[in-house]
Amino acid sequence: MVEEGKFKYLESNGGKHTIVLLHGLLGQLSNFQGIVDYYSDKYNIVFPHLPILEMPVKEVGIGALLQYVSEFINFKGYEKVSLIGNSLGGHLAQLYALDNPEKVETMTLTGSSGLFENAMGSTFPKRGNYEYIKEKVETTFYDPKIAPKELIDEIFKTVNDRMKAIRIVATAKSAVRHNLGDKLHNIKTPTLLVWGKQDGVTPPFVGEKFNDLLINSELHFIDKCGHAPMMEHPEEFNKILGQFLTKNLIE
């Protein structure tokens, strides 16, 4: 991970088209490892670390994160980008596309917030209860075994830090307040929607609603899959993504 100024990021420098990966509320690079491994040579894959757990509490919210993403893209000097966002990252992708339509070549949303999300439930984060956190993390996947112990341990550690827990809750509430249902028709960017058929956080009807509201979108469902298709079925996800990018990016 490279650190420059206030930005921490990974960049593959693999091709002329830049693809920015935007992670979710408790996301990390490992969520996108399948994309990074598969596409790093063909595209310039960029993963910025979003400072959800580090920014001042009084600034926490989706507006501040959007500003961070905008500043990062400007800092790097990217003229155009494709955005891939999971969960909260998808929400940020939509907001960025609304503000900067001329800079976004394509957008891919998977398990995205912005219309409806079930999050971790009203009792999250429940500090001090490892089994509770383990269960909540596992239920984001169709196959609980996909959730590695390292991920569960990291999330447990995070929610047991009082200030980090406050930031998580504040960010989640901010996202819920920023419903984009009445704005999505303004996004003309070619958009790929990839949804898990068993997503319990943003259920399949959410993907269908996005597809209805976005003017230039296509929707793909992956069976036996939860909230993070790119983690749970990386090969199928990459196949769908590859076809979409080939069709919409001018080589």
What values do phi and psi take at 88, rounded to 5? -60, -35
Helix (H) or strand (E) holding 156: helix 149-159
| Mean pLDDT over each residue of the chain, to the nearest integer | 90
Instruction: Check residue 60 and give its pLDDT.
Output: 87
| pLDDT tens track for 26-79 | 888 888 999 999 999 999 999 999 998 888 888 888 999 999 999 999 999 999
Measured between alpha carbons, how far is 32 from 86 in angstroms, rounded to an integer?
Answer: 9
Answer yes or no: are the C-beta atoms of 228 and 31 closer than 8 Å.
Answer: yes
Higher-confidence residue: 69 or 116? 69
Sheet holding 81-86, edge to edge: 2-4, 7-11, 44-48, 18-22, 81-86, 104-110, 191-196, 217-222
Measured between alpha carbons, how far is 39 from 238 in angstroms, rounded to an integer?
Answer: 9
Per DSSP (E only), the strands in 102-171 are 104-110
Whether pLDDT at 125 is above 60: no
Cβ neighbour number for residue 16 with a 10 Å cutoff:
11
Running DSSP on this structure, what letter comes out for residue 50? Answer: P
Running DSSP on this structure, what letter comes out for residue 46? Answer: E
Instruction: Check residue 118 and give its pLDDT.
Output: 66
Instruction: Check residue 119 and give its pLDDT.
Output: 56
Positive/negative CA dihedral, 7, 10, 12, 15: negative
Measured between alpha carbons, how far is 174 from 59 in angstroms, rounded to an integer?
Answer: 11
Higher-confidence residue: 119 or 75? 75
In the chain, what are the domains?
A: 2-119+179-248 (3.40.50.1820)
